[in-house]
Protein backbone atom coordinates (compact mmCIF):
# COMPACT_ATOMS: atom_id res chain seq x y z
CA UNK A 1 0.00 0.00 0.00
CA UNK A 2 1.91 2.99 1.21
CA UNK A 3 5.45 2.92 0.07
CA UNK A 4 7.96 3.21 2.86
CA UNK A 5 9.83 6.48 2.71
CA UNK A 6 13.10 5.72 1.04
CA UNK A 7 15.04 7.79 3.44
CA UNK A 8 17.45 5.14 4.59
CA UNK A 9 20.87 6.61 4.93
CA UNK A 10 23.33 4.81 2.71
CA UNK A 11 26.40 3.31 4.26
CA UNK A 12 28.99 6.08 4.36
CA UNK A 13 31.70 3.56 3.66
CA UNK A 14 30.40 1.63 0.68
CA UNK A 15 27.13 3.46 0.00
CA UNK A 16 25.03 0.37 0.28
CA UNK A 17 21.68 0.60 2.03
CA UNK A 18 22.33 0.67 5.73
CA UNK A 19 21.05 -2.02 8.04
CA UNK A 20 19.26 -1.09 11.23
CA UNK A 21 21.43 -3.42 13.25
CA UNK A 22 24.54 -1.61 12.06
CA UNK A 23 23.12 1.82 11.35
CA UNK A 24 24.22 3.94 9.81
CA UNK A 25 26.40 1.34 8.21
CA UNK A 26 25.46 -1.69 6.18
CA UNK A 27 27.50 -4.14 8.17
CA UNK A 28 29.82 -4.51 11.12
CA UNK A 29 32.72 -4.63 8.73
CA UNK A 30 31.95 -1.19 7.38
CA UNK A 31 31.39 0.11 10.87
CA UNK A 32 34.80 -1.12 11.89
CA UNK A 33 36.34 0.32 8.81
CA UNK A 34 34.91 3.73 9.48
CA UNK A 35 35.91 3.58 13.11
CA UNK A 36 39.44 2.63 12.23
CA UNK A 37 39.67 5.39 9.68
CA UNK A 38 38.34 7.83 12.20
CA UNK A 39 40.79 6.77 14.85
CA UNK A 40 43.57 6.86 12.33
CA UNK A 41 42.84 10.47 11.55
CA UNK A 42 42.40 11.45 15.13
CA UNK A 43 45.47 9.82 16.47
CA UNK A 44 47.82 10.85 13.77
CA UNK A 45 51.30 9.83 14.72
CA UNK A 46 53.75 12.68 14.14
CA UNK A 47 56.62 10.43 13.28
CA UNK A 48 58.90 8.90 15.80
CA UNK A 49 60.29 11.05 18.56
CA UNK A 50 63.97 11.52 18.03
CA UNK A 51 65.27 9.83 21.08
CA UNK A 52 68.91 10.61 21.50
CA UNK A 53 69.28 7.85 24.00
CA UNK A 54 70.69 5.06 21.98
CA UNK A 55 72.86 2.50 23.57
CA UNK A 56 75.61 4.52 25.13
CA UNK A 57 77.31 1.36 26.02
CA UNK A 58 79.39 0.85 29.09
CA UNK A 59 82.49 2.89 28.39
CA UNK A 60 85.11 1.24 30.43
Residues found near Zn ion in the complex (CB under 5 A): 11, 13-14, 16, 26, 30
Distance (Å, whole) CA 44 – CA 41: 5
Q: Where does residue 53 rank: exposed (0-12), middle (13-18), buried (19+ CB within 10 A)?
A: exposed
Which of 2, 36, 30 shows the shortest CA–CA distance to 18?
Answer: 30
| Nearer to Zn ion among residue 39 and residue 60 (C-beta) | 39
Residue 22 CB, nearest distance to Zn ion (Å)?
Answer: 8
| Nearer to Zn ion among residue 9 and residue 40 (C-beta) | 9
| Nearer to Zn ion among residue 15 and residue 39 (C-beta) | 15
Amino acid sequence: MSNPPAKATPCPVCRKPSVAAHAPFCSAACRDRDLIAWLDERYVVPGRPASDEGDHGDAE
